[in-house]
Structure formats: C-alpha cells, structure tokens
Amino acid sequence: MTKYDVLIVGGGSVGCAIAYALSRYDLKVAVAEKELDVGMGTSGRNSGVVHAGFNNRPGSLMAKLCVEGNEGFEALCKMLDIPYKRTGKLIVGYDEADHQALIKLKEQGEKNGVKGLEIIDGAAIRAIEPDLPASWAMLSRNTAVFNPFLYSIHLAEASAQNGVQYYLNSPVTAVEATEEGYRVQAGDHVLTCKTLINSAGLFADRVSAMAGDPSFTIYPCRGEYYLLDKGTLKMPVYPVPRPGVGGLGVHLTVTVDGNILIGPSADYIDNHEDYSTTEPILDQLRREAMILLPTLNMRTVIGTYAGVRPKLVKKGEANFGDFVIERSPKAKHLINLIGIESPGITASMPIARMVLDILSEDTELVEKPDFVPTYRGIPPFAELSRAEQRALIEQDPDYGDVVCRCETVTRAQVKRALHNPIGATGVIAVKNRTRSTMGRCNGGYCFQRIVELLLSEGKAPQDIDLKRRGDRPLLGYVKGGQA
C-alpha cells in the first residue's frame, strides 16, 4: 500500500509529533525518514531541555508554542512513557549588569506567560548548587529535562501502533506534483499522498523546493557538546544570554539520567550534516564551563557530539528567525515546517496541533474509535526495584542476562529494541532505546554482546550497521572463519 492521505517527510521530533497527532484520526499516514531510525537529526543532538519560554521574543510563534509545549510536556511524557524530570533551571550572572539583564529576562518571560520565575541571590543559588560561584540567578521552576531519543521514538512507536507506516532508510529525493497531491520517491519506495508535510529539519528548504516552493534557505549552525559521566549537578545552569550570540550560550545541563552536558557552541558551517567536534571549540566549552562551575571534573568526559540548528538567518544577520509553520502559498498540498530550531522539541506538540488546524482546512479529521493514546516502552530494568526486576526475570529469563554493565541493560531489552515496531535497524536502534553502549565504557562491554546477538539471529557481520546504512562496523569473517 503506497497511497497515503498524508506523507510526512522527516522523522524528527516534529514529524513524529505530527504523526502521533494524526494517528488519532481516520487517515492513511506515512513517515519517510532517510536515516535508520527516527530522531537521528537535530532531535537526537540537543540539550534535552524542556524550555519554559522566557528566552523567546514576545509575540513570536516560538514564545507561544514553547510556553504551551512546556505546559503539556509532563502529561505527554507520562502518557508515552518518556523519561522526564522537572528539575528547574538557573540562569546565572555575576555583576549588577547581569542582575539587571536577569530582571529584564524575567519580565520578558512573564510577558510570554511563563510562570515560576524568580530572581535569587548568591546564597539562594548555593543552597541549590553549592559549587556555583554566581552572584545572581533567575530560577525557572518549570524548566525540565527529558530523554530526547525516546521522545521521537515513543511518539513514532505510539503512532505506528495506531496505524502510521514508517519508511526508514528512505530519503525523499524527488517530489512530483499530481492532480490530487504528490508522488514521492522515498528511498526504494514510490509513495503518493494528498498532503505532504515537510518536517525535514535541516533539509526542509530542499524538500520545500522539490515540492514547488523554493522560497527558503537554511543556514546550518553547529553546536558542539561534551558528554560527562553522571555527576551531582541537579539542574541546567545557563549564563545570562548575551546579545549577538546564536543560541543560549554555553551551558551545563543534566540529562534525565544524571549525566552532565557542556555546550553548545554556535558556529555557522557549510555542510548541513557535519557533526564533527573541533579542538578549538571543545577548548572553549571547557573554559566557559569552568566559569559556570569551577569544580567540574573534566576527567569524567565520556564523549563529545554536535547538533546543527536549521537557521533561517545568515551569519551576522541580526534578524529574528521565527518558526515557519504554514500551508505553502506556492504549493497548496504542501505544509511547511521550516526553521524549527530551539525550542523545537518543547514546542513540537503545539506545532503538531497547528499543523492539524492547517490540514483540517481541506481534510476531514474523523476520530478513530480504536485510537490508543498511551504507549509503554521497553522497561528500564536498571531503574526498577529489586522486586520488579525479579518479576521480570521470572517472566522472561533474558531479563536475567545483563548485556550492558554500565547501564545494566539486559538481553530482553536489547531484543525488544532490535525488534521495535517501526523497523529501525542498526546498533543505534538499541542504543537509542536502551542506553546500551552509552555508558562510561563507551560500549567496550556491550558492543560485542549486541553483535553476538545479531549474529545469533542470522545476521552476517558485514550486514550489521552501526549508525547509518552501510557504515559497516565489521568487515566480515576472517579468512576461513565463520560464525
């Protein structure tokens, strides 16, 4: 079946949120994603913070949708079994000028409708985070952190459970207008649709052009990060925003699992998918992080990564680039989502609702009686009580076989990740769903065990993918060797 009412291009958080929102209705919906799994673009390469909405210009879509997104985020995470923690956040300053800037920031936030903002002094800061040297801070109580991988994945899997079809490893390379919509080449598949929803992130300008609207140019702006082992930081710590800097400035974040992130930088680059980290920027991150938290232990670094912002403003341009969420004025079957940079994940559900409104202009939305809104992911074995762990092992002995020692991930979890409902493949599908290979040993222990599991399921070593189709972590068997 290759005829769809709606085809979503891009399985990032925004595309998956739209897919989930649409799966409530009696429509044939598909998602085409070029990578092996959903959430592999910007949605898997960010700070993982549910923003409160005080950073965004009053009156902008960004501000409105961020505040709405923040309000509904916790309930959504509960419904879809996405790890979430309302940590609060500190924006810190050092002198009177910073103090004044924080007061302004609070005013802006309140104008946007953000609740739970408070200016606090050094003593109050240290009551929260004893090692911060800052003298002033704005405490934002409603800021939270979440697992960005599971966010896209659980939205996708929940929508798949309600009938959305996922085409992974299927880059959209050609879009042809037809009488009733589009015919789309997505990897090996030819798909037709009445409405094309373009949530292709960094490539949304190109997909829009393919579909007949060449109005946009996206300027990639990279943010590099350090990932540290679990630490004692309780909440994200950001510097007072400085004008002229793209992004929110280098900050410290805690992930929902307790790891510490340092980043992101903000540098315009040429290649949209150049996710490399670079020596001078990593240096800069280290320096700036030490100002925020001088006691930070850089010996606990377990990795670096980068994400790329899909900016609509060029380097040096002072303009404000708001989200573009519209039915294309040039192509009536195309709904465009362009320039969805931070706080795009926070805002993704309100964005999806906006898209539903736009879609309903020409498409009838009839609720399905059998829609299941909730989703349960793979049990996070390590976080369960001993009694719960015991019960799981009794149910399935594979829960008693620990594959990843750092994160205590079991064979049962890895198997479920490998046989996920959207057909994501590669070691990455396991990593994103279970945290296996993400611990402090960087996969030294579990990688070989995941490989063994794949081999035991009949996969040839040369057919195993790590992160992308054909990246071939393994060459094959040694001469004369076999399984």
Ligand X SMILES: Cc1cc2nc3c(=O)[nH]c(=O)nc-3n(C[C@H](O)[C@H](O)[C@H](O)COP(=O)(O)OP(=O)(O)OC[C@H]3O[C@@H](n4cnc5c(N)ncnc54)[C@H](O)[C@@H]3O)c2cc1C
Binding partner selected for residue 276 from ligand X, another protein, none, CB under the kind-specific 5 to 8 Å limit: another protein
> Is 477 one of the binding residues for another protein (CB under 8 A)?
yes
Stretch that binds another protein, among 150-158, 307-315, 340-348, 405-413 (CB under 8 A): 405-413
Decide: 91 and 250 in contact? Cβ < 8 Å. Answer: no
> Is 451 one of the binding residues for another protein (CB under 8 A)?
yes
Contact residue for another protein among 192, 209, 455, 459 (CB under 8 A): 455
Please indicate whether residue 51 is annotated as part of the active site: yes
Applying CB under 8 A, the site for another protein has a residue count of: 53
**Residue that is written with structure tokens 């926070």 in the block:** 346
Binding partner selected for residue 402 from ligand X, another protein, none, CB under the kind-specific 5 to 8 Å limit: another protein
H/E stretch holding 153 reads: helix 148-161
> Is 468 one of the binding residues for another protein (CB under 8 A)?
yes
Question: How many CB atoms are located within 10 Å of the residue 32 CB?
Answer: 29
Stretch that binds another protein, among 44-52, 73-81, 188-196, 463-471 (CB under 8 A): 463-471
Residues interacting with ligand X, by CB under 6 A? 9-15, 32-35, 40-43, 46-49, 51, 171-172, 199-203, 207, 223, 264, 307-309, 340-346
CA distance 312 to 309: 9
CA angle 427–428–432, rounded 5-degree value: 130
Cα dist from 329 to 109, 203, 208, 209, 372, whole Å: 32, 19, 11, 13, 35
Greatest extent of the chain over all pairs of C-alpha atoms, in Å: 72
> Is 441 one of the binding residues for another protein (CB under 8 A)?
yes
H/E stretch holding 67 reads: helix 61-80
Stretch that binds another protein, among 171-179, 196-204, 251-259, 391-399 (CB under 8 A): 391-399
Q: How far apart are the first and last CA of the chain?
A: 37
Nearest to 155 by CA among 17, 40, 339, 32: 17
> Is 438 one of the binding residues for another protein (CB under 8 A)?
no
- The values of phi and psi at residue 195, to 5°, are -125, 135
Decide: 265 and 221 in contact? Cβ < 8 Å. Answer: no
> Is 393 one of the binding residues for another protein (CB under 8 A)?
yes
Binding partner selected for residue 419 from another protein, ligand X, none, CB under the kind-specific 5 to 8 Å limit: none
CB of 417 to ligand X, least distance (A): 18
Question: How many CB atoms are located within 10 Å of the residue 402 CB?
Answer: 17
Decide: 198 and 459 in contact? Cβ < 8 Å. Answer: no
Stretch that binds another protein, among 89-97, 259-267, 327-335, 441-449 (CB under 8 A): 441-449
Applying the rule CB under 8 A, the residues between 273 and 332 that interact with another protein are 274-279, 282, 299, 301-305
If the CB atoms of residues 48 and 93 are measured against ligand X, the closer one turns out to be 48
Binding partner selected for residue 88 from ligand X, another protein, none, CB under the kind-specific 5 to 8 Å limit: none
- The values of phi and psi at residue 194, to 5°, are -85, -35
Question: Which residues are catalytically annotated?
Answer: 51
The footprint of another protein (CB under 8 A) covers 274-279, 282, 299, 301-305, 386, 389-390, 393-394, 397-398, 400-402, 405-406, 408, 441-445, 447-448, 451-452, 455, 461, 466-468, 470-479, 481-483
